[in-house]
Structure 1
Amino acid sequence: MKNIPDIGPVKKKILGIKISESVIFFIVFVAVFFHIFFTHNRKNLGQWEYPIWADAAAYFVYLPATFIYHYDGSKMPENISAMTGDGFSIENDKIVTKVAMGVAILQAPFYAFSYLIANNFNINDNGFGKVYIYGLGIGAAFYFTLGLFFLYLFLKRRYSKNVCFITLLLIIFGTNLYYYTYEKFLYSHLYSFFIFSTSLYLIDKLIKTNFKKTIYIALFGIILSLAFLVRYTNPIFIVLLLLFLDIDSWQALKQRFKYIFNIKFISITAISFIIILLPQMFYWHYLTGNFLYYSYGNEGFNWLEPKFLEFFFSPNNGAFIYTPLYFIIFIYAIIMSIKRNRMVY
């Protein structure tokens, strides 16, 4: 009788430890959620340390507005804007927030879960209370873990498992990502990371299938739209990935353009993008009467006077000061570019 091969989870040595990959990511998810729980379980609505405060409240307010108050500002709790750091406002009984709803869309399943618990157990905390914080904490742990997972899958096609996991550890402990996961998990940073990691994995799939598989094209349109709704500038990074990932010659770049600029890719991407964008367009119409609206008013970028020194070295959130790992990556990228150019010429 032939031996039947074992089809269970394959355990491989990672950093010298024999353990399955799925177990590692599950442990990460559980550990991150409990860190979030114990970080915020003693904080209360109205305190600046509470997760729903200032910018976080601007991203969050779509959720209670949708599930509980149905965009009727007159039904919102009294002084709720001031109690959450004035991240949004109530004007003419309308709920006004200038940020887009990408974070809220991603967190909607977890808010809905909390909403069901609150209703079933008669928890009356106006949609802003602890039960929702814990639900969104699960969501934050989920997107953090899933972002790491997709990044790992992308890296695994190129490097050994040990290199992949060391890279993930450097990202977790060498950047501000984890801070924006356990402490400021209603800001857009975590969700941008998830979307960028997913984009890397998805674009890699598109490249391997010569941009012909419909499901990958549709998913790309969805991710691109979510990227826009999480932060308006995010699609710039994704489009650059789409154009230049794994490109090593002019011929390869020309072929990439042929794959991208065809009717099938553009039409499926556009349809998927617009479908995800529709809720935001309806909100803009509710707010202004127009389906398209720039919510930031006179705010913008000063392209002609970039503040490079302040961006990299400012003691107030300078990239290299607060995240020294970026400096190492920056120098390494310059060295590798010089070496590559020497090899070409």
Structure 2
Amino acid sequence: MKLNKFWPKAALLFAILYTINISYKNIEHPGNLIWSDMEGYYTYLPSVFIYGDFVKEAVKDTNYIRPYKDTQKIYSKYTCGVAMLEMPFFLISHVVAGLKGENQGGKSPIYGRGLAFAGLFYLWVGMLFLYKLGIRYYEKKWVILSILSILLGTNLYYYTFFQPAMSHVFSFGIISIFLYLTDTIFIKNKRVNNPLTTWMIYGFVMGLIILIRPTNIILLILPLYIWYKDENAKLQWIRQHLIPLLITAITAFITFLPQFIYWKYISGDWIIYSYGDESFKFWKEPKLFRVLFDAWNGWILYSPIVLLPLYFLIKGRNSNQNYERAYLIIFALATYIFASWWAWWFGGAFGHRSYVELLTLLVLPLAGLLQQSYKTKAYFITMSIFIIILCYYNLGLTYAYRPPWDGENWTYDSLIYQIKKIFFWRNRLKVK
């Protein structure tokens, strides 16, 4: 009995130490994490805490992050949700830099290392809450295997261990909390009164997931869809919970106040469209096939393991709580949104990076598929071998990746060449 209680804790400790080791080895130049999009998310922190203003001295790459045309204040098109989550790690890095006598300008490698640990922390947060959610529906072993398969079989791995300062792993962690709280409020405890603190936390998390990436707003479909199937029962429930729902909305709004204040300060307007000429120019002719299957970061082409939980969602064998349908609607909307964006491949990325946060929705169905397949030995063995191959495929491409894998010179033949190297030539799975 003591051994049974000990090994999960030992396994957890090993997993934490192992992921720290991978992160440390993969990120050879942590200062490079303060660059491009990653600096766009981060720039709020040195501006506020070191320089006291949004001035050019706060920015490392002034060719990418430029002053706002009217006020000459440093202008980030990205919302401040990621910076809010990075803040504790930034402050720790700042103190450590001072203690070590290093430069405290916010751009040195020690700050980049702090961002790397921030990304790793939110991976752990996401895995924890997905586990807590998953064991409400499936056996622990299948939930754990599902989480590990999603990590090793998709570009979540890349955006945790190679580019952790991008927004995606932060979204992954906070959306996992959102899914857990949504299930708690609308499924597990829907017939009891949740404490107001739960509703306030829910509103804060809801605001954060949108503030990290505004397109995450489509996840709000989930609490509107999954609980009562009968519309009259829904309306009655809403009438009974008007005050908690109002508190949730107010808390979510308060979460946005720092962003409104920033926009007002740099532009004079409380709300602005920060992406300028970048738009959803393909909304009439969305690049749906290319988003999913193109050599330029096609989601399914680079992370084919997602077909397994998607299959389970489509079959609808999970529960009777409408999870499957709600999840599929979210994926359909997300795919349309991504396919409508002017850069539907989302730049120099590994795999289609905008799906990383939505991988949270695939843990439950993959756990369900694994548990279901275990009933038939041959089916389970085949499934297990298939998952191992797909994880190897993803990790092989991950360690082979040297950006960018897009542009005129990057074709299906280019990708096939990399795949051949993984399976038939030299083993690419070397952790540096």
TM-score w.r.t. structure 1 length? 0.83
For the Cα contact (< 8 Å) 1:100–1:229, is it kept in 2? yes
Give the structure 2 partner of residue 240 of structure 1.
Answer: 221
1:255 aligns with 2:233: yes
Match among 107, 118, 137 for residue 97 of structure 2: 118
The runs of at least 4 aligned residues of structure 1 exceeding 6 Å deviation read none
Deviation for aligned residue 1:309: 0.7
**Amino acid aligned to 2:297:** N
Give the structure 1 partner of residue 205 of structure 2.
Answer: 223
Deviation for aligned residue 1:25: 3.4
Match among 253, 271, 284 for residue 250 of structure 2: 271
Give the structure 1 partner of residue 286 of structure 2.
Answer: 306
1:73 aligns with 2:55: yes
For the Cα contact (< 8 Å) 1:118–1:124, is it kept in 2? yes
Match among 313, 320, 326 for residue 300 of structure 2: 320
Deviation for aligned residue 1:215: 1.5
- 1:174–1:332 Cα change, 3 Å: same
For the Cα contact (< 8 Å) 1:56–1:87, is it kept in 2? no
Look up the SS of the partner of 2:275 in the other structure: coil
Give the structure 2 partner of residue 38 of structure 1.
Answer: 25
Give the structure 2 partner of residue 154 of structure 1.
Answer: 133
Kindly report the root-mean-square deviation, in angstroms, between the aligned alpha carbons of the 2 structures. 2.6
What are the superposed Cα offsets for residues 147-175 of structure 1, whole Å, 9 maximum, x if unpaired? Answer: 00000000011110111111111111111
Separation in structure 2 between the aligned mates of residue 29 and residue 256 of structure 1, nearest angstrom:
42
Q: How many residues align?
A: 314
Give the structure 2 partner of residue 3 of structure 1.
Answer: none
Give the structure 1 partner of residue 262 of structure 2.
Answer: 283
1:28 aligns with 2:15: yes
- 1:69–1:185 Cα change, 3 Å: same
Separation in structure 1 between the aligned mates of residue 155 and residue 212 of structure 2, nearest angstrom:
18
1:52 aligns with 2:34: yes
Alignment identity in percent? 31
Deviation for aligned residue 1:116: 1.1
- 1:102–1:26 Cα change, 3 Å: farther
Moved more, 314-323 or 122-131: 122-131
**Amino acid aligned to 1:275:** I
Give the structure 1 partner of residue 115 of structure 2.
Answer: 136
Separation in structure 1 between the aligned mates of residue 13 and residue 238 of structure 2, nearest angstrom:
36
Deviation for aligned residue 1:76: 3.4
**Amino acid aligned to 2:260:** M
1:89 aligns with 2:66: yes
Runs of 5+ in structure 1 lacking a partner? Answer: 1-5
**Amino acid aligned to 2:7:** I
**Amino acid aligned to 1:88:** I
Separation in structure 2 between the aligned mates of residue 69 and residue 53 of structure 1, nearest angstrom:
18
Separation in structure 2 between the aligned mates of residue 24 and residue 260 of structure 1, nearest angstrom:
43
Deviation for aligned residue 1:38: 2.0
